Amino acid sequence: MTSEDTAILDTIERWLARDVRPHVMRLDHADEYPHEMVGQMRDLGLFGATIPVEYGGLGLSATTYAKIVEKIAETWMSLSGIFNSHLIMAACVTRAGTPEQKARYLPKFASGEIRGGLALTEPDAGTDLQAIRMRAKRDGDAYVINGTKTWISNGIHGSCFALLVKTDPDAEPRHKGMSMFIAEKGLGFTVSKKLEKLGYKGIDSAELVFDNYRIPAANLIGGVEGKGLQTALGGLELGRINVAARGCGLASAALKDSVRYSQIRKTFGKPICEHQAIQLKLGDMATRLQAARLLTYDAARAYDTGERCDMEAGMAKYFASEAGVENSLEAMRIHGGYGYSKEFPVERYYRDAPLMVIGEGTNEMQRIIIAKQLIERDRV
């Protein structure tokens, strides 16, 4: 951690205390998009957090980024999703884009002038990305795209998306027929509906429809067909570190609230923190959180070195997201009836946490990735 990193984290903490924490309950219960907070995140530079300095971003390490995400998720997880999906899109362009694409888009992504996200999932394809059906056909110096994407974060309020398509649906293996485009909203690109969710309120999740949408060939990321899946998976490494950090944030919030409440609430003549049953829960929650943090920082360090880190990111995402779920449930049990009430934030943690075990690749898929990498790295 440099002095600049520490200063950024301090600034984020002050912003959360002053401008976010007092309004979270109202916005979350109303499922209202936090326009003012998004503007403040833009001013703080969060939409350029991991974008290189030469393109106007903050150029933060993944480790510092993870700590920022944890702080924000501890207060309101939905905010971290608004810039996470955007930064995955930026990571795809940073890692795989042509020099012209980087020069054109990254400065606008960093400033927040253009905000958006990642468009991978379809009604019949999520974990198995190679099963997508969205088709892009070459037509002169453009492509014509048809199909539907669903569960797209920032789908309503975003204006640009890293869009995964099939340019050759007959290719074998299937991934060789997949490509990714920088797709800005325009004629033929519409938002069909906002999708309602159990938790993760405030942030817009939407279905996107492409009907003879024409996009310049110059917007094909990397300028070469057949590289889309690799580009998407590279971006998802950062996304999974973000999700792991969110899991840490939720686990931390649940623990802090439980430690505080257990000293206030009394039963049988003493604070419940003096009952062994509650102490066992708190001990498990604290250990789970610390282990999740260490895995997350380990994955972030691997990402910062530029080495392949799908196993490390998968381990962090898997363990930290499960920690968020388990800590949120234990917090509800410690709070009793108040944990089930909308007067306390515990019920929000409980609603938000399950998304983390599904988003950016299910935890079942993470375990498979981990196992395959173990074999690959230790061949006999």
Give strand ranges (E) for the chain: 116-119, 135-139, 142-153, 160-166, 178-184, 189-194, 205-216, 266-267, 270-271
Instruction: Please state, as a whole number, how many other Cβ atoms lie within 10 Å of the Cβ of residue 242.
Output: 32
Distance CA 49, CA 51 (A): 6
Distance CA 318, CA 368 (A): 11
Going by C-alpha positions, the residue among 69, 73, 84 that lies closest to residue 250 is 73
Distance CA 201, CA 217 (A): 36
Q: Which of 4, 32, 360, 364 is catalytic?
A: 360
Q: What residues pair up with 165 in beta bridges, in sequence order?
A: 179
**Is 364 annotated in the active site?**
no
Burial class (CB in 10 A: 0-12, 13-18, 19+), 172: exposed
Burial class (CB in 10 A: 0-12, 13-18, 19+), 351: middle
Q: Are 302 and 64 in contact (CB under 8 A)?
A: no
Going by C-alpha positions, the residue among 123, 117, 214 that lies closest to residue 156 is 117
Q: Are 182 and 160 in contact (CB under 8 A)?
A: yes
What residues are labeled active site?
Answer: 360
